[in-house]
Structure formats: C-alpha cells, structure tokens
Amino acid sequence: MDFITLRENPELIAQAAEWFHSKWGVPEEAYLSCMDSYLKKETEYGWYLCLDGDSIVGGLGVIENDFHDRKDLAPNICAVYTEESHRCQGIAGRLLNMAVSDLKRKGISPVYLVTDHTGFYERYGWEFLCMVQGDGEPEMTRMYIHR
C-alpha cells in the first residue's frame, strides 16, 4: 500500500473527490474546491490518501472548519475513512500521523477534529478538548486536539 499526498499525485483529484463524496455525502464540488486550493498552493491544508494498487482505500483531509460552531479551533482533520475491507491494518492511524507531521513541518499546530468515536484517536496522540455544536446537528459532538 502507498501513502501519498494529493500534491504527489494531482491526477487523482477527480477520483479522490468522488471517493470522499461516496463516503460522506458532501458534494464532490466541495471536495474539488478544497483540493484545488491545496494543489494551487493557496492553502497548506492537505489531502492524504492510502492506495492499494489503483484504488483509494483510505483517506482524510484538512480544512479550516469541519462544520461546527467553534470557528476559532482550526484547522480540522476531516473525512477520515478507511474501506471496511482494509480496516484494522493501521491505515487511519498512519494517515493521521502523516497529516499531523506534515502540518507541523509547515508550522501549523495544533490540529483539531470532531468525532463521535471514543478511544480510537487517543491511540494516535489526540486528546479530548471539549464538546462542540455541529452545524444543523441536534446533539453536541466531541472535539479533539493534537498538539
């Protein structure tokens, strides 16, 4: 398996946008816009992928805000996903570490993420920070920080 940034393989932009859309239901155009800004170096908030051959089997992105009310907590890891057939192989953890390390090299720290999961992100150095209100969500959700 290969772990890459989208900048290393910009030709995957359409495939990556469609893959993330199929997992999260966010419009492809939203992914394409964020990815295009990253590829044009308008932002250092990147997109990280795990490839098994020509197939994307895991990925995540970094955006300013992952649809929550704490606009001061940025940037945010978003869209973390690993295909079910490839879970429990350390893919998500490796992608998370890759993103955090890449951002730190660029002087961007801390990094945040929102999730309903407990116990998973702590394995990779994330700490629970607070509860946040998701845009249009009735329930509060967990915000984590990686320093």
- Three-state SS annotation for the chain: CEEEECCCCHHHHHHHHHHHHHHHCCCHHHHHHHHHHHHCCCCCCCEEEEEECCEEEEEEEEECCCCECCCCCCCEEEEEEECHHHCCCCHHHHHHHHHHHHHHHCCCCCEEEEECCCCCHHHHCCEEEEEEEECCCCCEEEEEEEC
Q: Are strands 111-115 and 76-82 parallel, antiparallel or unpaired?
A: parallel
Beta-bridge partner residues of 133: 140
| pLDDT computed for residue 120 by the predictor | 93
Structure tokens, 41: 């170096």
How far is 109 from 115, CA to CA, in rounded Å?
Answer: 19
Fold of 2-108: Aminopeptidase (3.40.630)
| pLDDT computed for residue 60 by the predictor | 98
| pLDDT computed for residue 55 by the predictor | 97
| pLDDT computed for residue 136 by the predictor | 85
| pLDDT computed for residue 137 by the predictor | 87
- Show pLDDT as tens, one digit a residue, over the chain (147 residues): 999 999 999 999 999 999 999 999 999 999 999 999 999 999 999 999 999 999 999 999 999 988 889 999 999 999 999 999 999 999 999 999 999 999 999 999 999 999 988 989 999 999 999 999 988 888 999 999 999
Structure tokens, 135: 């845009």
Q: Are strands 127-133 and 111-115 parallel, antiparallel or unpaired?
A: unpaired
Beta-bridge partner residues of 73: none
Q: Model pTM?
A: 0.93
